[in-house]
């Protein structure tokens, strides 16, 4: 019987949604490895979470900087987890993501490649490394990819982002197909409009703009996404794999419809 807490790796953990996921996992008794490209932010998040009264005695938190799009960095993160926690993670949350707000006609190859490398290649590299370690140790596991409503719908001026998130939808299904025999479940969460420091800067009034479009008449919080992570990571979800769960207040369930119809 396992006596230690279960261990999660969250990528892009210093950001709005990633830090919300990490906080909820820690509150729920998980040990957490926090990965982010931004070394200073992820280190200060570790300090905040370790001293914030959230942790039960014995909870372990580690900050590990690294670029999800670089194979070498991903391998180093998993090696550091092994050194620090002396075990393989039970849960991987592929959350790191970026976008370039530009029309297709103006998007440079460099911008396209950076977004695809971070969002899609990063998800692949971490998924492969997590699964290789789990299979080698004959350990089951859960992978949760953070997609978007644009897994299935094209958002304007986000061609790079749309393509990467559409890819995540198929990567989720392919990985679920191949890793199921190793008792590794792979699912995706597609958030709607979630309030983070990044998104607040995107629209004049982010809350009003998106809550009026959302059937539940509010925008989401990182804690809403984190609640879905807990749900999919739980053993009660042990027969759920290859799926995408919208956490969007119903936003992307609706068709475009003429006004005053």
Binding residues (CB under 6 A) for ligand NAI: these are: 11-12, 14-18, 36-38, 67-69, 95-98, 118, 122, 146, 148, 191, 193-194, 196, 198-199
- Hey, CA dihedral for 134, 161, 23, 229, is it positive or negative? negative
Min dist. Cβ of residue 238 to ligand NAI (A): 25
Closer residue to ligand NAI, CB minimum distance, 131 or 247: 247
Closer residue to ligand NAI, CB minimum distance, 114 or 182: 114
Closer residue to ligand NAI, CB minimum distance, 116 or 135: 116
**Residue 245 forms beta bridges with which residues?**
189
Measured CA to CA in angstroms, residue 212 lies from 4, 12, 114, 159, 206 at distances of 45, 29, 33, 25, 10
Min dist. Cβ of residue 108 to ligand NAI (A): 18
Min dist. Cβ of residue 178 to ligand NAI (A): 23
Closer residue to ligand NAI, CB minimum distance, 16 or 141: 16
Neighbours of 218 (CB within 10 A): 14
161 annotated active-site: yes
Report the distance separating Cα 83 and Cα 77, nearest Å: 10
**Contacts by residues 197-205 (CB-CB < 8 Å, ≥ 24 positions apart):** 197/16, 198/15, 198/16, 199/16, 202/101
Min dist. Cβ of residue 251 to ligand NAI (A): 10
Q: Which residues of 45-62 are buried (b: 16+ CB within 10 A; e: fewer)?
A: bbeebeeeebbeeebbbb
Residue number of the CB closest to ligand NAI reads 15
Q: Which of 124, 161, 206, 210 is catalytic?
A: 161
Catalytic positions are 161
């Amino acid at each position: 019987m396992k006596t230690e807490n279960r261990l999660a790796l969250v990528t892009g953990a210093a950001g709005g949604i990633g830090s919300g996921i990490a906080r909820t996992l820690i509150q729920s008794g998980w040990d957490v490895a926090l990965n982010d490209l931004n070394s200073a932010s992820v280190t200060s998040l570790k300090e905040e979470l370790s001293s914030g009264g959230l942790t039960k005695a014995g909870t372990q938190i580690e900050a590990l900087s690294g670029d999800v799009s670089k194979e070498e960095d991903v391998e180093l993160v998993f090696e550091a987890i092994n050194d620090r926690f002396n075990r393989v993670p039970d849960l991987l949350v592929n959350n790191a993501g970026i976008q370039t707000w530009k029309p297709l006609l103006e998007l440079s190859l460099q911008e396209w490649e950076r977004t695809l490398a971070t969002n899609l290649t990063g998800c692949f590299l971490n998924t492969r490394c997590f699964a290789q370690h789990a299979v080698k140790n004959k350990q089951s596991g859960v992978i949760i990819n953070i997609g978007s409503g644009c897994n299935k719908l094209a958002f304007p001026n986000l061609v790079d982002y749309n393509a990467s998130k559409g890819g995540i939808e198929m990567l989720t299904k392919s990985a679920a197909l191949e890793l199921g025999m190793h008792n590794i479940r792979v699912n995706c969460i597609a958030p709607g409009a979630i309030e983070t420091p990044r998104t607040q800067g995107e629209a004049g009034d982010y809350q009003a703009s998106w809550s009026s479009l959302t059937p539940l008449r509010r925008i989401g919080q990182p804690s809403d996404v984190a609640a879905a992570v807990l749900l999919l990571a739980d053993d009660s979800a042990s027969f759920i794999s290859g799926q995408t769960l919208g956490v969007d207040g119903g936003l992307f369930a609706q068709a475009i419809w003429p006004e005053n119809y």
